Amino acid sequence: MTDTSADLVVLGGGSGGYACAFRAAELGLSVVLIEKDKLGGTCLHRGCIPTKALLHAAEVADSARDADQFGVKTAFEGIDIHGVNKYKENIIAGLYKGLQGLAKAHKVTLVEGAGTLVDANTVEVNGTRYTGKNVVLATGSYSKTIPGLELGGRIIASEQALNLDFVPEKVVVLGGGVIGVEFASVWRSFGAEVTIVEALPHLVPNEDEFISKRLERSFRRRGIKFKTGVKFTGAEQTDSGVTVSLENGEQLEADIMLVAVGRGPNTAGHGFEEAGVQLERGFVRTDERLRTNLPGVYAVGDIVPGLQLAHRGFQQGIFIAEDIAGLNPQPIDEAGIPRVTYSHPEVASVGLTEAAAKEQYGSVETFTYDLAGNGKSQILKTSGAVKLVRVTDGPVVGLHLIGDRVGELIGEAQLIYNWEALPEDVAPLVHAHPTQTEALGEAHLALAGKPLHVHG
C-alpha cells in the first residue's frame, strides 16, 4: 500500500468538489481531487448543461414554428434528435476540456477511481491511501424513485431522458418540480403530448403560489396537461407503452414515463457512516460552516441538506477552501441563492415566498408588475410578471419572476435581496430601455410609492 499526502483531499469532482479544489489550490494548498467518473459531475455531464442545451433547441423549434407572428416565413420540418444530441454533446465536450485544463493549471492532483473514506484524514482509492489535513466529502446525488417503482425500460430518470435517440409522442412526467417542468417543456416544444402528475396542489410547489399559478396558465396555453394534487399508484410497461395509474382511478397511456420526484444524497457505500460521519435521512449533517461531526471533515453540495443546485455547490466549495485557509468567510444564506427553472416560460426567484416572508416577518407588502407593460417583453411576445415581497417599511425579501428570458434577470434580483436593499434604494437606479430589467425597476418604483408605467 502506498501513501500520498496533501493539505486537502476532496472526494468527488462535481461542481462543489472541483470548486473547493480550485479555490484551495489558489490559496496555496496542495490538493488531491478524487473522481470515479468525469470531472464536472452531474451538472456538466447529465444535469444543468445538457438540459439547458435541450431547452435551447426547444426554443429554436418554437421560434421556427411560430415565426409568422413576427412576419417571418419559415417551415418547421421537425426535430432531428441526432442533430440535437450532437449539439448538446459538443457543448459538454468543450466545457469538459476547459475544466480539465483548469485542473491542470491549478496543479490539482486528479485521481481517477472510487474513493472510500477510511478515517477523518484518509481516503482510499484502489489500494492507495490519500491523507489530508482536511477532507471534503462531495459525492453528489442520484435520481430518486418512489418505493415499488423500478426505473428501467420505458420508465426513465433524467439521465436517460437526456440521451433518448427519439422524440416520444406521448409522455407522462411524474413530479412537477424543476426537472419535471423542464423536460415537459422540452418535449412539448419537440411536438409530444405531455402530462405531468404532481402530488402537491401546484406545479413548482416550492415557488411562490402566484408563480406556480402563472406557470400553470402558460402550460395550459401550450397544451401541456397536468394533474396536480393527485397520487400516483403504479405503472405497468409493455413492449409498446406504459400505463400509469392514479389514485382517482384514472389511467394514462404513454410511450415513456419520466420519474422526476427529487434527487437523493449519494452517501452510501463510500465508508462515510463506517468512518463515523453522522448522517440524517441519508444527508450529511453539517453546521453552518459545512463541518461534519468528524474533526477536519467538511461536506459540500447535494449531500448537504438544502437546495441541490450547482451554483450553491460552487459557493460552498469556495467557502470551505477559504475556511480551511483561515480566511474566516461568511456562512452562506440559503435564501439568497438564486433559483431558475429554464422552462418556457422561465421561472426565477430569490429570497422568500410571500407566505414564508409573512411567517418570518409578520407584516409584508407585495407588488406585482405584469410584463404586459414591459416593451421588450411585448417585442419578444412573452407574458409574465415580477412579484416583489418587502417587509413593511423594510427591505425586499423576495423576488419572483416568470416569463421568457427572466432567468437572466436573477443577477440583479439576487443583488437586491443579498444587499438587503429597500425599494427606495433600487428606485433611483436607471434601467436601460427597452430591456426586461425595466420590469424589476418599475416594480421597485411602484413599491417605493412612485409608479411610472403602472395603472392606478
Contacting residues toward ligand NAI, per CB under 6 A: 146, 174-180, 182, 197-200, 205, 232, 260-263, 308-309, 340-342
Alpha-carbon torsion angle 32, 34, 38, 44, nearest 10: -70
Judge whether 123 is annotated as a binding position. Answer: no
Residue 368: enclosing H or E segment and its boundaries? strand 364-370
Among 331, 333, 330, 320, smallest CA distance to 27 is for: 320
Q: Is 228 annotated as a binding residue?
A: no
Q: Which residue has the cell 399559478?
A: 213
Q: Is 302 one of the annotated binding-site residues? A: yes
The 3-state DSSP class for residue 345 equals: coil
Q: Is 148 annotated as a binding residue?
A: no
Task: Return d(Cα 206, Cα 212) in angstroms, integer.
Answer: 9
182 labeled binding residue? yes
Measured between alpha carbons, how far is 363 from 393 in angstroms, rounded to an integer?
A: 9
* Beta-ladder partners of 440: none
Q: Minimal CB distance to ligand NAI: which residue? A: 177
How many Å apart are CA 317 and CA 93, to the nearest integer? 23
Q: Which is nearer to ligand NAI, 115 or 140 (CB)?
A: 140
**Is 139 part of any known ligand binding site?**
yes
- Minimum distance, C-beta of residue 17 to ligand NAI, in the bound complex (Å): 17
Distance separating alpha carbons of residues 53 and 45, to the nearest angstrom: 12
Work out how close the CB of 157 gets to ligand NAI at its nearest, in angstroms, rounded to a whole number. Answer: 9
Give the span between the Cα atoms of 164 and 51, in whole angstroms: 12
CB of 152 to ligand NAI, least distance (A): 18
Nearer to ligand NAI, 178 or 294 (CB): 178
Is 177 marked as a binding-site residue? yes
How far apart are CB 128 and ligand NAI at their closest, in Å? 33
181 is in an annotated binding site: yes
Q: Catalytic: which of 82, 202, 433, 453?
A: 433
CA 66 to CA 184: how far, in whole Å? 19
Q: What is the DSSP string of 126-193?
A: TTEEEEEEEEEE---EEE---TT---BTTEE-HHHHTT-SS--SEEEEE--SHHHHHHHHHHHHTT-E
Please report how close the Cβ of residue 163 comes to ligand NAI at its closest, in angstroms: 16
By C-beta, is 214 or 444 nearer to ligand NAI?
Answer: 214
What minimum distance in Å lies between the beta carbon of 334 and ligand NAI?
A: 12
Nearer Cβ to ligand NAI, position 12 or 132? Answer: 12
Residue 84 or 410: the one with the smaller Cβ distance to ligand NAI is 410
In the sheet that holds 225-228, the strands lie side by side as 155-156, 256-259, 170-174, 193-198, 225-228
Cβ distance to ligand NAI smaller for residue 340 or 445: 340
- Least CB distance to ligand NAI at residue 178 (A): 4
Confirm or deny that 2 is annotated as ligand binding.
no
The answer to whether 175 is annotated as binding is yes
Is residue 336 within 8 Å of 418, Cβ to Cβ?
yes
Smallest distance from the beta carbon of 347 to ligand NAI, in angstroms?
9
Evaluate the CA torsion angle 178, 357, 303, 140 in order and state its sign.
positive
433 is catalytic: yes
Residues 6+ away with beta carbon under 8 Å from 252: 172, 195, 197, 243, 244, 246
CA-based nearest residue to 372, from 385, 359, 362: 385
Instruction: Give the residue carrying C-alpha cell 426535430.
Output: 79
Report the residue number, 29 or 54, with the smaller CB distance to ligand NAI.
54
Instruction: Determine phi and psi for 194, rounding to 5 degrees.
Output: -125, 135
CA dist 83 and 391 (Å) reads: 49
Tell me whether residue 182 or residue 442 sits nearer to ligand NAI (CB atom).
Answer: 182
For the chain, the maximum distance between any two Cα atoms, rounded to a whole number of angstroms, is 76
The catalytic residues are: 433
Binding-site annotation: residue ranges for FAD: 52, 115, 139-141, 302
Binding-site annotation: residue ranges: 52, 115, 139-141, 175-182, 198, 262, 302
Binding-site annotation: residue ranges for NAD(+): 175-182, 198, 262
